[in-house]
Amino acid sequence: MQDTAELETLASELERKGPEATVRWALDRFEKVALASSFGLEDVCLVHMAATYRKDARIFYLDTDVLFPETYDVRDRLMDTYKIEFIRVEASIPLETQAKEYGDALWSRNPDLCCRLRKVIPLQNFLKNEDAWVTGIRREQTPARANAKVVEYDEKFGLVKVNPLAPWTSEDVRAYVDRHHIPYNPLHDKGYPSIGCVPCTRSVKPGEDPRAGRWAGTDKTECGLHQ
């Protein structure tokens, strides 16, 4: 499914129908489809949409081994609430091996390489066997995501990419979470609009860009999964 015209038509149709319809379309359309979750506000919305439609929906997360304790906790609460299991995708090498080969705290010296080892390569390996993946990215999040379509072909990973929440605002996301009483990460209420790994995430000060807390002090804004 790589025809550009077909995907653009689908994207327009599904955007009009809304995120829930888009998630259901993806789960019904593809035999091998997996939903990516970092357990942020956007992704818990998608977990709710998928799990309430099909209990056998396949949802995975990239475990970098340096996620916040609150992230693992919301994972467990979602599992308990929706009676689902998440697929854990491990980093390409253990932290100990990474430290031996590249030195301690690689994230502070070369965050791009660290993200590649702990996120990009594991995702590449996981998606090799998929026909499509579903993500929680939104256009307003970063300039790199500003042109994201609801359905598009992912050249980087070689499969269809579905972005049901692409047109949503942060207010849309929060309203959906509140309306459906979805478990979410309490760090979102403590100045963390975007939550990644512990060493590379800080709280955001009033007036700062919502993603200013990611890789603060560098010009890095993406981990490499969506660019």
Q: What is the pTM for the complete model shown?
A: 0.92
Angle at 60 between CA 200 and CA 35, to 5 degrees: 105
- Work out the average pLDDT over 195-220: 85
Judge whether 63 lies within some domain: yes
User: Is 226 a residue whose pLDDT tops 80?
Assistant: no
Judge whether 226 lies within some domain: no
Judge whether 175 lies within some domain: yes
Q: Which helix (H) or strand (E) holds 154?
A: strand 151-154
d(CA 154, CA 162): 9
The total number of residues written for the chain in this structure: 227
pLDDT at 2: 63
Judge whether 130 lies within some domain: yes
Judge whether 160 lies within some domain: yes
Q: Per-residue pLDDT tens for 94-104?
A: 999 999 999 99
Confidence band, pLDDT 50/70/90 cuts, at residue 134: very high
Judge whether 218 lies within some domain: no
Judge whether 155 lies within some domain: yes
Residue 179: strand, helix, or coil: helix
Judge whether 81 lies within some domain: yes
Q: Cβ-count burial of 50 within 10 angstroms (0-12 exposed, 13-18 middle, 19+ buried)?
A: buried
- Per the residue annotation, which of 45, 197, 200, 223 is the catalytic one? 223
Domain span holding position 84 = 4-200
User: Is 198 a residue whose pLDDT tops 90?
Assistant: yes
Q: Per-residue pLDDT tens for 71-120?
A: 999 999 999 999 999 999 999 899 999 999 999 999 999 999 999 999 99
| Domain at 34, CATH number | 3.40.50.620
Q: Per-residue pLDDT tens for 12-24?
A: 999 999 999 999 9
Q: Has 45 been annotated as catalytic?
A: no
- Number of domains the chain is built from: 1
